[in-house]
Structure 1
Amino acid sequence: MTAQFIGYARVSSTGQSLDIQEAMLTEAGCRPIFAEKKSGRRASDREELARAIAHAREGDTLIVTRLDRLARSVIDLHQIIATLTEKGVAFRALQQSGIDTSTSAGKLLLTMLGAVAEFEADIRAERQKDGIEAAKAKGVYKGRPASIDAAAIQSALAAGETPAAVAKRLNIARSTVYRLKDAAPV
């Protein structure tokens, strides 16, 4: 069996397009290409990545367009690369041409850029948290509006409806009914 270039494409949200990544991977000779719309924070949540790794055989190369498409944490990155290495599968990032795990320099660059990618993700999360805190301090940020009306639950229970019936009618967990039954009115 001849070695394959296996492509993996990922975007974080359903509103984003995979088209550019898939075109680059196709141009690089990748067949097949595994693609998904999932957050890159944890590799364990990405089924198509798992399928791509399972599909890879000794001598194959897993290719992504950029390193951050594969992993956002150094731990995930090293675990993925260790799994690929154990299988005899190389890894390459098209837009970071120095990343090629078949070379020592490529392995070093991979580790350094993986740390930078994780740092960037952490900084972005910190900025978002700081922005939310500042908005809360100004009274602008109220959070997500409540999707469940505690008063409606309380009145249904007061009218004699059972917690199980309320939960079923509102399509919520029974534990939510119990949690909100004595809550202060919103």
Structure 2
Amino acid sequence: MTTGRTFAYCRVSTVEQTTENQILAIRSAGYDVTDNRVVSETVSGSVLAIERPEFKTLVEHKLEKGDKLVVLKLDRLGRDNIDVQQTIDKLTTKGIKVISLDLPVADLSSSEGKLMLQMFSAFAEFERNRIRERTQEGLNRAKAEGKKLGRPPAKGTTENVQRCKEEGLSQSATAKLLGLGIATVKRHWNK
């Protein structure tokens, strides 16, 4: 049996923000979502979708086969491309139609919607690779210019570690006394 109900999921990141505009936009787009089927929450976009309390409750206890889930933007469904795709896969496997109003294809569970998600995924991977390449190019250029990379050495650390060593303290006792990590003490132990 399918229910055919329509739910809306709206998310904001901070308490200063409100989901009112998202709800209004969804209703203006022609989705008649009753107030008891609007799920709103305030949670950072960096949290996986299924770890968001209200979204998790929606997916696990409210949505049923044949229902529609409408969001204003695709990023409401996950923290990154992989999370969005996993969320949509989970929903479509349950027989739920997923609709994102910011995309030209309304139904993400359709063949066209799946194609669009795959294209977005490919573009996201391409951009991640380009960022990685540009970062490496910048590091190589800085090295070629003779710039020292990494964190500058803490002033006096070597001297303080050497003093403790001369006084007969162990590396772990030195780390505790100076408030340093054992790896830092080891790095400065034989300088």
TM-score (norm 2): 0.63
Q: Give the Cα–Cα distance (whole angstroms) in 2 for the partners of residues 117 and 50 of structure 1.
A: 23
Number of residues of Structure 1 aligned to a counterpart in Structure 2:
169
Q: Give the Cα–Cα distance (whole angstroms) in 1 for the partners of residues 121 and 105 of structure 2.
A: 13
Change (3 A) 1:144 1:173: closer
Give the counterpart of 1:173 among 167, 178, 181: 181
1:50 alignment partner in structure 2: 51
Q: Give the Cα–Cα distance (whole angstroms) in 2 for the partners of residues 95 and 55 of structure 1.
A: 24
After superposition, the C-alpha distances for 1:70-107 in whole angstroms (9 at most, x for unaligned) are 3655x555433323333444444443342632322111
What is the CA-CA distance between 1:27 and the residue it aligns to? 4.2
1:138 alignment partner in structure 2: 145
What is the CA-CA distance between 1:20 and the residue it aligns to? 8.1
Unaligned runs of 5+ in 1: 11-16, 39-45
Give the counterpart of 1:119 among 122, 126, 144: 126
**Identity score, percent:** 25
SS at match of 1:31: strand
After superposition, the C-alpha distances for 1:8-60 in whole angstroms (9 at most, x for unaligned) are 567xxxxxx8988967645445632353264xxxxxxx356522652332236
Q: Give the Cα–Cα distance (whole angstroms) in 1 for the partners of residues 122 and 16 of structure 2.
A: 27
Q: Give the Cα–Cα distance (whole angstroms) in 2 for the partners of residues 5 and 68 of structure 1.
A: 11
Unaligned runs of 5+ in 2: 27-37
TM-score (norm 1): 0.64
Q: Give the Cα–Cα distance (whole angstroms) in 2 for the partners of residues 85 and 133 of structure 1.
A: 45
Q: Give the Cα–Cα distance (whole angstroms) in 1 for the partners of residues 184 and 107 of structure 2.
A: 50
Does the alignment pair 1:5 with 2:8? Answer: yes
Match of 1:79, as an amino acid?
A: Q
Task: Map 1:34-113 onto structure 2 (within 5 A).
Answer: 34-36=42-44, 38=46, 46-47=47-48, 50-51=51-52, 54-57=56-59, 58=63, 59=67, 61=69, 63=71, 65-66=73-74, 70=78, 72=80, 76-98=83-105, 100-113=107-120
Change (3 A) 1:179 1:78: same
Where do 4+ consecutive residues of structure 1 move more than 6 Å? Answer: 17-21
Q: Give the Cα–Cα distance (whole angstroms) in 1 for the partners of residues 80 and 148 of structure 2.
A: 28
Q: Give the Cα–Cα distance (whole angstroms) in 1 for the partners of residues 142 and 58 of structure 2.
A: 47
What is the CA-CA distance between 1:168 and the residue it aligns to? 2.4
CA contact (8 A) 1:9 1:33 kept: yes
What is the CA-CA distance between 1:167 and the residue it aligns to? 2.0
Match of 1:158, as an amino acid?
A: E
Match of 1:4, as an amino acid?
A: F
What is the CA-CA distance between 1:68 and the residue it aligns to? 10
Match of 2:123, as an amino acid?
A: V
Task: Map 1:156-171 onto structure 2 (within 5 A).
Answer: 156-171=164-179
Q: Give 1 or 2 for the bigger CA radius of gyration.
A: 2
